[in-house]
Each structure stands twice: as structure tokens, then as C-alpha cells.
Amino acid sequence: MGATFILFWILSTLAFAAAMGILVSKKELYSVLSFIVLVFAISGHFILMNAQFLAIVNILVVAGALGVMFLYGLILVRSHRDSEQVKILYMRIAGVIASLLLLIVLTAAVSKASQNEVVLRPGTWIGHVDKIGEELFSRFFVPFVISGLLLLSVLVGTVVIIINREPAPDPKSVTL
């Protein structure tokens, strides 16, 4: 219990700090890097709960693929930096108050719930690759195939959104 407890607090602090980093950092680069740190912290929580497959999928898909996509998007977008974002103080204060209220309401809603422990019962092998694979390819086969179709349609749709229908700009003007 001791080691799990300490690791939980370390990972939770890391996740909280990374989330705050996303929120408050002025530069988008640091937001993206904080997001990657956050994904690693959450993967650490998964490993702590013995959900190894999800931990590694989280690292591969979110920290790997999605983080890289964010970085490349940042590279493209940062390269023509000319606008300063408009800051509206009242909207910021209202947003902070609203989200804090949401936090209070959500926490109050579960405060009466019965106490439960996250238990790793030996022998069930939940969260291991073979168990998830068995379930995924027997009971959840149709959702799995449909999600594959979704990914394919996203691939096509992204290209359609991003494709340049106008004549290409002068490449000399796109400099870093």
C-alpha cells in the first residue's frame, strides 16, 4: 500500500501541474509539452492500476501520434505569427468561476457515494493484452470494425478539409 500511495500522489501532482501548464502557459509550445507530460502521468496511473495495455496505447496514440500532430500544427501556425489574442477580463473571471462551481458540484455529487477500493484481484488478468484482445475480437468485434471505418473516414475527411483549392502561395513568403 505504501509504495502505491506514494506513487499515486507523485503522479497526481505531476498530472495536476501539467494540466495547469496547459492552462496558464503563454506559448503554445509549452502547452503541447505539458500535454505530453500529462499523458505520461495518466499512463503511469494506468500502470499503477495494472491496465498495462491501455497505458501503452495511451502513450503510443496520444503522446506519440497526437502530440506529434499538435507539434506539426504548431510549427505551421507559429510560422506566421502576427495576431495577438484578444483578452477579455470579464469572460476570464466568469470562466474560472463557472469551472470551479462545476468542480464543487461534481465533487459534492459523489461525496455521499460508498467507499470503494481499486483492487487488483489476482488471477483475473484484467487489462492485459490477451484478455482485452479476446473481448475485442469476440464481443466487441462490430464496434471495432466500425471504429476502423471511422478512422478511415477521418483520414479522407481531414484531407478534404485541408486540401488547397486555391492557387498555392509563393513559397518564398512562407519562412520561419
Partner 1 sequence: MKGNYVTIDLALVIEKLVLIIAVTFLVWVAARMIAMADRKWLHPSPGTGVKDISESLFGATPRLLVKAAAVLMLVVSIMISTVIPWGEAVRIGSRNVSLFIARVDIGVLLILAFLWLGIYGGIAQRWSYVKNDRIGALFRFGSLFIACALAMGLAIVPLLMLAASTDLQNIISLQKDAVWNIFYQLPGFLIMLLGTAVLSKPSFTNDGRRIAGAGFGSVNAMYNLTGYVLLFLMGTFITALYLGGYEIPFVSDLALRRRFGVNVLFILQGISFSFKIIMVVAILLWTRRVLERYDESILIRWGWKLIIPAALINLAGTAVVLVA
Partner 2 sequence: MLTHFYVVLAFLLFSIGVMGVLTRRNALVLLLCIELMMSAGILLLVVFSKMHLTHANSFSGAQASQGQIFALFAIMAAAVIGITGIAVIFAFFRKTRSVDINFLNRLKN
Contacting residue, 86, 142, 156, 176, with partner 2 by CB under 8 A: 86
Q: Which amino acid is at 53?
A: F
Q: Is 17 in the site for partner 2 (CB under 8 A)?
A: no
Nearer to partner 2, 115 or 175 (CB): 115
CB atoms within 10 A of CB 34: 19
Residues 45-74 interacting with partner 2 (rule: CB under 8 A): 45-46, 48-51, 53-54, 57-58, 61-62, 65-66, 69-70, 73-74
What's the alpha-carbon Rg for the chain, to the nearest Å?
22
Concatenate the DSSP letters of all residues of 132-159 into one string.
HHHHHHHTTHHHHHHHHHHHHHHHHHHH
Closest CA to 42 of 64, 24, 59: 59
Q: Residue 128: which residues within 8 A CB-CB, separation 6 or more?
A: 52, 53
Shortest distance in whole angstroms from residue 137 CB to partner 1: 12
Residues 108-137 interacting with partner 2 (rule: CB under 8 A): 110, 113, 115-121, 124-127, 131-132, 134-136
Nearer to partner 1, 95 or 133 (CB): 133
Shortest distance in whole angstroms from residue 83 CB to partner 2: 4
Residues at the interface with partner 1 (CB under 8 A):
27, 29, 33, 36, 50, 52-53, 55-57, 59-60, 63-64, 67-68, 71-72, 75-76, 78-79, 120-125, 128-130, 174, 176
Instruction: Give the total of residues touching partner 2 (CB under 8 A).
Output: 84
**Contact predicate 20/50, CB 8 Å:** no
Burial class (CB in 10 A: 0-12, 13-18, 19+), 94: exposed
